């Protein structure tokens, strides 16, 4: 069963595990399990996803319990009324804190890809980051005898697709486990040494106006067990 973080008569927030698609995708035709389907069966009613989380990303995922609430939540995301906090493990040692202001081309959705549409327009994209911890491990990768890693808190100000993954690659500190924007050698070595093979990115907090009462919803989600275990194995404290 999916872990429910918050639920009322209008919406529900779950902890989506890594590796679970939000909904059916033609790009992952072999997959048979989806968060929408699992939550619908668990609650015994239809649910309406308000935003996206990549398949490999774990953490908070919101659904409306009616089409109208689903749309209202989606509009809050589009209007940048939702403050989101993510945690990630990245390669290297980024600055202790900073802002990435780097425009990104809009990535096409499935229907646009199927129709062979041209690449989307360039859109402003901003991410704030803070380095929480760092380590150097005696693991030889490529030409380097040791490897450096950092635990990061990431705050996407804008909401572009794959924004955090693309921004961390842009500053040369890709997220560990990212098969698209990272480096295979590093991902494989990390998984080999620590026994966990996943994208180390999780949505751990959201703050947004309730779509009906307009009161502030402050949602928190603990990191997945395997994510927390790796953090501890690297000698770091698991973020609260």
Q: Is residue 238 part of a domain?
A: no
170-173 LR contacts (CB < 8 Å, sep 24+): 170/100, 170/102, 171/94, 171/100, 172/92, 173/90, 173/91, 173/92, 173/93, 173/94
Q: 172 in a domain, yes or no?
A: yes
pLDDT over 90 (residue 136): yes
* pLDDT tens readout for residues 102-128: 999 987 665 444 445 456 689 999 999
For the chain, give the mean pLDDT: 92
Task: With a cut of 90, say whether residue 169 has pLDDT above it.
Answer: yes
Which pLDDT score, from 0 to 100, does residue 31 have? 60
The phi, psi pair for 165, rounded to 5°, reads -65, -40
pLDDT digits (tens, 9 = 90+) for 18-76: 999 998 765 555 666 899 999 999 999 999 999 999 999 999 999 999 999 999 999 99
C-alpha span between 32 and 28 (Å, rounded): 9
Residue 202 lies in a domain: yes
Distance CA 16, CA 34 (A): 10
Range of the domain at 99: 3-233
Residue 83 lies in a domain: yes
Number of domains the chain contains: 1
CA distances from 225 to 15, 59, 174 (A): 12, 11, 22
Residue 108 lies in a domain: yes
Q: Which residues contact 62 (CB under 8 A, 6 or more apart)?
A: 11, 12, 13, 49, 50, 51, 73, 206
Question: pTM for this one?
Answer: 0.92
Domain-located, residue 132: yes
Which helix (H) or strand (E) segment holds residue 166: the answer is helix 163-170
CATH number of the CATH domain containing 103: 3.30.2350.10
Decide if 8 is catalytic: no
Q: What is the pLDDT of residue 233?
A: 98
Q: Which of 8, 28, 41, 54 is catalytic?
A: 54
Given a contact cutoff of 8 angstroms between Cβ atoms, the answer to whether 64 and 11 are in contact is yes
> How far does the chain reach from its first CA to its final CA, in angstroms?
24
Whether the Cβ atoms of residue 203 and residue 60 lie closer than 8 Å to each other: yes
Inside any domain, residue 190 = yes
pLDDT of residue 33: 82
Residue 240 domain-assigned (yes or no): no
């Amino acid at each position: 069963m999916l872990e429910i973080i918050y639920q009322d008569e209008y919406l529900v927030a779950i902890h989506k595990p890594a590796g679970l698609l939000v909904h059916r995708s033609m790009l992952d035709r072999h997959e048979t399990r989806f968060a929408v389907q699992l939550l619908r069966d668990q609650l015994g009613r239809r649910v309406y996803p308000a935003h996206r989380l990549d398949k490999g990303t774990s953490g908070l995922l919101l659904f409306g319990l009616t089409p109208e609430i689903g749309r209202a939540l989606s509009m809050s995301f589009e209007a940048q009324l939702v403050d989101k906090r993510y945690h990630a493990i990245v390669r290297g040692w980024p600055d202790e804190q900073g802002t990435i202001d780097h425009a990104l081309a809009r990535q096409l959705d499935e229907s646009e890809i199927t129709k062979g549409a041209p690449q989307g327009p360039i859109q402003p994209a901003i991410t704030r980051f803070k380095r929480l911890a760092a380590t150097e491990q005696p693991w030889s990768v490529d030409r380097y005898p040791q490897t450096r890693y950092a635990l990061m808190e990431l705050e996407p100000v804008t909401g572009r697709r794959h924004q955090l993954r693309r921004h961390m690659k842009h500053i040369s500190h890709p997220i560990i486990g990212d098969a698209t924007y990272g480096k295979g050698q590093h991902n494989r070595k990390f998984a080999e040494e620590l026994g966990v093979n996943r994208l180390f990115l999780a949505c751990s907090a959201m703050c947004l106006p309730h779509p009906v009462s307009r009161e502030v919803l402050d949602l928190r989600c603990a990191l997945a067990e395997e994510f927390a275990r790796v953090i501890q194995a690297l000698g770091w404290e698991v973020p609260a």
